Structure 1
Amino acid sequence: MTSALRSSARPSLRRLPDSGPDLGNSLKETPMVRLLVLLELIARKDAPFTLQNLVQDTQWPKPSLHRMLAQLEASGLLQRDLKGRHYSTGQRLTRLAENVLLNSTTRAARHRVLRLLVDQAGESCNLTSFSAGEVLYLDRVETAAPLRFYLHSGSRVPAHCSATGKLFLSQMTPSQRQKLWDAGPLERFTDRTLVDIDRLDEEIAKVRGQGFAIDDEEFLPGLLCIGVLVPSLDTKDNKTNMGIALQAPKVRFSLERAMQCLPLLENAAQALSRINQSASNDEDELL
């Protein structure tokens, strides 16, 4: 690490807004900790950012931040746009985040919540997050019913035609969603897939207002899915990157039946939120 990062004139490692626990004076001189704090701040950003943005957020010396960003970019944790001014998370950092979610120490506790929901509702359920514009399956519990659709942990599905995907999209600003739409035409998977942007925006607004979402044969023919977000207690804007959904063949899981299961789904989401909050509190105590 460079001598600039070892300088005794560096500012204190102050607590960043909503960035996690204060790491304390005993750790503030450690260059590795400074990199981790910077990554933690970057992970909370929902749009590309500049070096000057980080200078304003951290009040750290601009040359030091520039060198830290260069290290993170060289390692694949960050990437820059074509003009070279804006940074965003790199593929390596995205994979790291996905692996943490897929193999979290709270996975067993969360899996028990999914198992209970399947026992109560009688249908398969999955736990998801939003990653690189798609819905990532973090965990899944299958029903014992012989007729079912199989999707394993680690599977990815498009956001625009999945229940929790539409919920994740509903948390984004119109400009953030537009960047996704500009990436290319939306793929039509069935006759019911929404690919018209105006109609999809109307659906997303409806989802935001009602607090749940339905996938009615929009991704796979004959499949109906209902989903809700897992509430986050750690962010001021209540944005979350975790959703839970029930899905089953329409021959036995009608829209009416799905709505009957909504309270069970919401109870499971609250239980998952408490697990996440408990894990966060435990980490704070360790620090």
Structure 2
Amino acid sequence: MKLSSVDKSLQVIETLRKNPQGLSIAELSQLLGFPPSTTHHILSTFRPYDYVAQNPETKKYTLGFRFLSISTSILENLDVRKTAYMHLRKLHEKCHEAVHLSILRNGQVTYIDKIQGSSGLSLATYIGFSTDPHAAAGGKVLLSELTSEEIKNIYKNRPLKRYGKNTITSMKQLLEEIKNIRKQGYALDNEEYYEGVRCVASPIRAGGRIAAALSITGSIFSMTMERINRELIAMAIGTAKDISSELRW
């Protein structure tokens, strides 16, 4: 099938998104199978509008700052993010751990807000970060809104990738986990995404459906299982319910 110029342009943008270190025209052309002249034309069209930027030393291209302003506009118009913000701050002040707000988009969990923890634990997550939902507490909460067939369809063409030492890599086990999450109203990530890190998440509901997930993340030393069971599960569930009560969808 012959690709239109718009299709080719979007493929360039998507490839740059997946390669934040930057790519040269030759590297982009090789990855996409485009003639270098086509790649150069697309980049030259985007560059004056700041959709792409070129490093003057390496000559490699990255996404431009225009996408940052676009993403900011999108985030500012998400009702759940605006409603949740003060609740996230209060939760962070109580637990002193990292707090995330996430949604399910195109089969991935996407983080739309984050407050860094006080412990100094460094997490690779950031606003706009997307990853597989099966290995994250927030992702599993979001999957619990879906049917078993819908979950299987998400992973139809990709495996349940292993991230941490306890990542669920079996569909049967994942579906059983999701079943338990629906019953208990929260999800745990015990070194499933990052080794040495635990997370607890709870659903935020609007219009009778799960609209987002709220999660608390910290090291296994500050978030012991005893502390999770004693106070953090209740904090996550309580805050998620408070946010849900303010959403009017």
Q: Is residue 252 from structure 1 mapped to residue 225 from structure 2 by the alignment?
A: no
1:220 aligned partner: 194
Aligned partner of residue 172 in structure 1, secondary structure = coil
* 1:192–1:144 Cα change, 3 Å: same
Whether 2:131 is the aligned partner of 1:161: answer no
The residue matched to 1:268 in structure 2 has which SS?
Answer: helix
CA RMSD in angstroms comes to 2.1
Tell whether the 8 Å contact from 1:148 to 1:249 is kept in structure 2 after alignment: no
Find the residue that maps to 1:226 and give its secondary structure: strand
Alignment partner of 1:174 out of 144, 148, 151: 148
Q: CA deviation at 1:129?
A: 0.4
**1:83 equivalent in structure 2:** none
Query: 5+ residue gaps in structure 1?
Result: 1-97, 281-287
Give the structure 2 partner of residue 241 of structure 1: 211
Equivalent residue for 1:102, pick from 72, 75, 98: 75
CA-to-aligned-CA distance 1:94-146 (integer Å, 9 cap, x gap): xxxx8776222654542211110000112110111000111110101112222
Do the aligned partners of 2:83 and 2:247 also contact (CA within 8 Å) in 1?
Answer: no
Q: State yes or no: 1:202 paired with 2:176.
A: yes
Within 5 Å, which residues of 2 pair with 1:87-166? 102-104=75-77, 106=79, 107-166=81-140
In structure 2, distance between residues paired with 1:135 and 1:265:
18
Relative to structure 1, is the Cα distance of residues 101 and 254 closer, same or farther in structure 2, using a 3 angstrom cutoff?
A: farther
* 1:190 matched residue in structure 2: 164
After superposition, give the CA deviation of every residue in 1:26-54 in whole Å (9 maximum; x if it has no partner).
xxxxxxxxxxxxxxxxxxxxxxxxxxxxx
String of CA shifts for 1:145-181, please: whole Å, max 9, x gaps.
2234252111112101111211121221121112122
Structure 2 counterpart of 1:45: none
Structure with greater proportional strand content: 2
How much does 1:244 deviate? 0.2
Contact 1:228 1:245 in 2 (8 A): yes
C-alpha distance in 2, partners of 1:140/1:155?
A: 10
TM-score for the superposition, normalised by structure 2: 0.66
Q: Contact (CA 8 Å) 2:189, 2:198: kept in 1 or not?
A: yes
Distance verdict in 2 for CA 1:248–1:101, change over 3 Å: farther
Distance 1:179 1:108, change over 3 A: closer
TM-score (norm 1): 0.58
Distance in 1 (alpha carbons) for counterparts of 2:201 and 2:160: 21
- C-alpha deviations, 1:58-115, integer Å up to 9, x for none? xxxxxxxxxxxxxxxxxxxxxxxxxxxxxxxxxxxxxxxx877622265454221111
> Which SS does the other structure have where 2:150 is aligned?
helix
Matching of residue 211 in structure 1 with residue 185 in structure 2: yes
Q: 1:275 aligns with which of 234, 246, 249?
A: 246
Secondary structure of 1:240 counterpart: strand
Q: Which residue of 1 aligns with 2:236?
A: 265
Is the 1:101–1:138 Cα contact (8 Å) retained in structure 2?
A: no
What is the deviation of 1:199? 1.2
Q: Is the 8 A contact 2:109 2:139 kept in 1?
A: yes
**Amino acid paired to 1:164:** G
Q: In terms of mean alpha carbon deviation, does 267-276 or 135-144 score higher?
A: 267-276
2:135 touches 2:189 (CA, 8 Å); kept in 1?
yes
Given that residues 149 and 248 in structure 1 are in contact (C-alpha distance below 8 angstroms), is that contact kept between their aligned partners in structure 2? Answer: no
Q: What's the CA shift for 1:203?
A: 1.0
